[in-house]
A and B are shown apart, each in its own frame.
Chain A
Amino acid sequence: AQSVTQPDIHITVSEGASLELRCNYSYGATPYLFWYVQSPGQGLQLLLKYFSGDTLVQGIKGFEAEFKRSQSSFNLRKPSVHWSDAAEYFCAVGADHTDKLIFGTGTRLQVFP
């Protein structure tokens, strides 16, 4: 069965610093992979997704993610974090032959000025 692991529950960075949020998945074939962001009191918003092709995908708000099959990873990156990026970030994998998504437990990002 598919699963997603986000090993970091909470990350704190300074504004302007680079960011990498980790995501590992378990899936037999090439997965559909997603990153969503949730601001306080809001629903989830899609940042980016990977289905096939170029393993480096660009998303909204200056985020990017790289699919590494050998490491079963899909880490999210941003070169320079803004205070408005403080939120919770969820990695997700698409379940076999369905529209279902399996979400990780999330990483809460805190940004210090």
Chain B
Amino acid sequence: DARVTQTPRDKVTEMGQEVTMRCQPILGHNTVFWYRQTMMQGLELLAYFRNRAPLDDSGMPKDRFSAEMPDATLATLKIQPSEPRDSAVYFCASGSAETQYFGPGTRLLVL
């Protein structure tokens, strides 16, 4: 049963530290999405890639966030430096507009 995997599942860090979240999309899916979920803002699209190229990162704070796909099996989302307001659940999804398959998320707490 193919699924999207994300690591770590939980991360607690201190303000100012670098955080890297990883996602392994479903094999064969060429579109990868990063979302952030908070109580206040709900589910927000941060960025998405097709064939490893960034198509839209307009939802991402550019000064501290960066997203990459070093290869077809790995997507990364990095926050440097992290701030308490970055505390949220970060989801990766792969697929297409017709169907997106979500990973279990990384729960980030920045103290």
Q: Is B25 an interface residue (CB 8 A)?
A: no
Residues in B with CB closer than 8 Å to A49 are 98-99
Would B45 and A105 count as touching, CB distance under 8 A? no
Q: Is A71 an interface residue (CB 8 A)?
A: no
Using a CB–CB cutoff of 8 Å, the interface residues on chain B facing chain A are 4, 31, 33, 42-43, 45, 48, 50, 55-56, 91, 93, 96-105
Interface footprint category on A: 20 to 34
Q: Which of A36, A43, A99 contacts B97 (CB 8 A)?
A: A99
Residues in B with CB closer than 8 Å to A105 are 42
Residues in B with CB closer than 8 Å to A98 are 55-56, 97
A49-B98, A94-B97, A99-B50 as given contacts; A43 in contact with B42, CB under 8 Å:
no
Residues in A with CB closer than 8 Å to B50 are 99
What is the distance, in angstroms, from A24's C-beta to the closest C-beta of chain B? Answer: 16
How distant is the Cα of A106 from the Cα of B102 in the complex, in angstroms? 16
A90-B43, A98-B56, A103-B42 as given contacts; A43 in contact with B98, CB under 8 Å:
no
Would B104 and A42 count as touching, CB distance under 8 A? yes
Given A44-B43, A44-B100, 14 further pairs, Cβ under 8 A? A42-B104, A43-B93, A43-B102, A43-B103, A49-B98, A49-B99, A98-B55, A98-B56, A98-B97, A99-B97, A100-B48, A101-B45, A101-B97, A101-B100
Q: List 21 A-B contacts (CB under 8 A).
A: A32-B97, A36-B102, A43-B4, A43-B93, A43-B103, A43-B105, A44-B43, A44-B100, A44-B102, A45-B102, A46-B100, A49-B99, A98-B56, A98-B97, A99-B33, A99-B48, A99-B50, A99-B55, A99-B96, A99-B97, A103-B42
